[in-house]
Amino acid sequence: METRIRELRAREKLTQEDLAKKVNVRRETIVFLEKGKYNPSLKLAYDIAKIFNLTIEEVFLIEK
C-alpha cells in the first residue's frame, strides 16, 4: 500500500517522531508505513488522516 505520509509530514513540517506521538505509535511504525511495509489498522489510518484533515483514501492509496 502506498501512502502520502512523507509528503504530508513535509508539508506540515512534522518529523516522523512528531507524527508518531500524535497518533500514539512508535516512530518505527511511521517509517514502515512510509515504506509501504506495514498496513495500518483502520483506527490508525483514521487517526493519521485526521491529523492532516484528509480522508483515509487521500492519505492511503490502495493498489489495484
Taking only the tens place, the pLDDT of each residue in 15-32 is: 999 999 999 999 999 999
Statement: residue 43 has pLDDT above 90: yes
Percent of the chain whose pLDDT exceeds 70 = 98
pTM of the model: 0.92
Over residues 35-42, mean pLDDT: 94
As to burial, measured by CB atoms within 10 angstroms (0-12 exposed, 13-18 middle, 19+ buried), residue 27 is middle
How much is the pLDDT for 62?
A: 80
Superfamily of domain 2-61: lambda repressor-like DNA-binding domains (1.10.260.40)
Boundaries of every domain in the chain: 2-61
Q: How far apart are CA 60 and CA 49, in angstroms?
A: 9
Q: Is the pLDDT confidence value at 1 over 90?
A: no
